[in-house]
């Protein structure tokens, strides 16, 4: 039980990390396109 709970926590933290990376990439792309115009 404890092992599975810890595993789920690490998996969710990895998902949050990937989501943040995609979010900041989208923000950077948006500012890049707006500055290009």
Q: Could you tell me the residue ranges of all domains in the chain?
A: 9-37
Tokens for 21, please give them. Answer: 């990376």
How much is the pLDDT for 7?
74
What pTM was estimated for this model as a whole? 0.51
pLDDT at 2: 66
Residues 1-37 pLDDT 10s: 566 677 777 778 889 999 999 999 999 888 877 776 5
Q: What is the DSSP string of 1-37?
A: -HHHHHHHHHHHHHHHHHHHHHHHHHHHHHHHHHHH-
């Amino acid at each position: 039980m404890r092992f599975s709970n810890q595993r789920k926590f690490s998996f969710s933290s990895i998902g949050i990390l990937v989501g943040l990376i995609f979010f900041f990439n989208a923000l950077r792309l948006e500012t890049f396109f707006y500055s290009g115009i």
